[in-house]
Structure 1
Amino acid sequence: MTASAPSIDERKFVVALARGLDLLRAFRPGETLLGNRDFVERTGLPKATVNRLAYTLTVLGYLRFDESLGKYALDAGVLSLGFALLSGTDTLELARPHLRAFAREVGAAVSLGCRDGLDMVYLETIRSETALTLGLASGSKLSMLTSSMGRAYLAVQPVDVREALYGELAQMAGDSGAQQVKNEVQEARVEVDAFNAAGCCYSFRAWHDDVNAVAVPFRDPRDRRWLVLSCSGPASSMGEEVFRERVAPRLKALAQRLGDTV
């Protein structure tokens, strides 16, 4: 279970539901099929539990079982939930024309995202026709530690929630990736600590070797959750100075038009 909160009311928390959602979250961008072994490794659940959950999700239309391969794929039920989220996000409809104008003006990709467990997920991405950026689309997930979007989200969380997230991220990495995550946490802390002065968070070649990015958080006027705007471009042609002096001020102004900023 990846929900970070100061406390959970065990009387109301449905463990079986949380475990089923963990199975659906086990799929990563670009992956179409996962087997029971993959689910066990990624969720830490017993094989017998995974079998029951996968069967239930298949019956309900959220997973589809490929008998020839012995693996599961996401089915239409998950897609319908995604469309329900996107179609119900008034802020997304409001933001789209602004994102298009911003992408044309800056000549880069601009995205709107939110938290999804221990990752950040893209709700929308608009690319400039001239932008040479990675082809991430709606539904793509990013690291909360190395992406500017994740760092911006962390920056506006209460200290106890942020520290709990750092701990969960380190725990998820396990012993094999502990040192890498420790380094990523330290780099994220530097950016988060600089947020109050900068009003944004940067990621220079941290998430990808040839990607620089900046992100600004704002509260959705409708439901008051934190959303994050980010702008990314190739590091080879859009250096740190471009993002600090040209892109960041424009992105902060856009965030202020869309919702409440810090």
Structure 2
Amino acid sequence: MDSANNRKSASKSTRRVAADDIDERRFVVALARGLDILRAFRPGETLLGNRDFVERTGLPKATVNRLAYTLATLGYLRFDDAAGKYALDTGVLSLGFALLAGADSLELARPHMRALAREIGAAVSLGCRDGLDMIYLDTIRSETALTLGLAPGSRLSMLTSSMGRAYLAVQEPAARAALLDELGEAAGEDGAHRVEAAKRAIGDYARDGCCYSFREWHDDVNAIAAPFRDVRNGRWLVLSSSGPASSMDEAYFREVIGPKLKALAARLG
């Protein structure tokens, strides 16, 4: 009974990894809940209250109160008395810097990404998987054109983004099938439709060596992505490029950006 209750209460956390990968004897539910509180913040948000945490994590209010207090005591959150809400504090920042400082691939990729962004007039990004999302590690915007590009730390849907589809494309078939099932369930009513669209994009990878998202992640965004294996850390990273669909059509991404992005991924891998 306790195991079942833990699984249910940690549903938000366990959705970030494949359910079959969780060893419930070693999984610390309280820690997972605390990390869910930190992940509730979205790019551009500075203050969240307990009601926001409850809505975004699905945790009881009493649990949220204790977790937020604990995280504030440890320096990961800061309570703003005037607003009556919490902000991320320096403890989170130090963890992020520690990650980026050890990311040799990011340092290696950055000058090449900058050169490519300048050449193609589109944003070039590097990302990796984080649970059921993709997360931006860095983005280089074109210096010669007005381009799109999310900030480091931004999250993308694995099903609708070119970056997420490229990650799915290079997974082992059994692992990919299990992940698609979990993603479809998490997506709710639109899950089946999004999974089918992702499967078609995975077919593009088999043919073209990259994946696309044309007006699917956003109505006015076209994007392309190519994965490569980070041999230093043993994980898959994904390069992507995006731009306004109104000024950069599908043919430009397929015929111009695609070959250059794949060549860069091959060099970095």
With normalisation by structure 1, the TM-score equals 0.91
Question: Is the 1:219–1:227 contact (alpha carbons within 8 Å) kept by the matching residues of 2?
Answer: yes
Change (3 A) 1:199 1:15: same
The offset of 1:192, in angstroms, is 1.5
Superposed CA offset, 1:128-157 (max 9, x none): 112322341111111111110011111112
Q: What secondary structure is seen at the aligned counterpart in 1 of 2:128?
A: strand
**Structure-2 change in CA distance of 1:97 and 1:238 (3 Å):** same
Unaligned runs of 5+ in 1: none
Partner in structure 2 of residue 198 of structure 1 = 208
1:68 aligned onto 2:82: yes
Residue 245 (structure 1) aligns with: 255
The one-letter code matched in structure 1 to 2:37 is L
Aligned residues: 255
The counterpart of 2:57, out of the listed 29, 43, 58, is 43
Structure 1 residue 101 displacement after superposition? 0.9
The percentage of counterpart residues that share the same residue type is: 73
Which residue is 1:23 aligned to?
Answer: 37
**In 1, distance between residues paired with 2:211 and 2:52?**
34
Give the letter aligned to residue 94 of structure 1.
Answer: L
Q: Is it true that 1:165 corresponds to 2:210 in the alignment? A: no
Equivalent in the alignment of 1:88: 102
> In the TM superposition, what are the counterparts of 1:1-262 in structure 2 within 5 Å?
1=13, 2-4=16-18, 6-173=20-187, 178-259=188-269
Q: In structure 2, what residue type is equivalent to 1:183?
A: H
Q: Which amino acid aligns with 1:145?
A: L
Task: Tell me, in whole angstroms, the C-alpha distance in 2 between the residues paired with 1:244 and 1:218.
Answer: 18
Distance in 2, matches of 1:85 and 1:229, equals 18
Q: Is the 8 A contact 2:126 2:139 kept in 1?
A: yes
Change (3 A) 1:8 1:203: same
* CA 1:48–1:163: 2 relative to 1, 3 Å: farther
Offset of residue 95 of structure 1: 0.6
CA 1:38 to 1:159, structure 2 compared with 1: closer, same or farther past 3 Å?
Answer: farther
Quote the Cα distance in structure 2 between the aligned partners of 1:163 and 1:58: 39
Q: TM-score, normalised by structure 2?
A: 0.89
Aligned partners of 1:204 and 1:64: how far apart in 2?
40
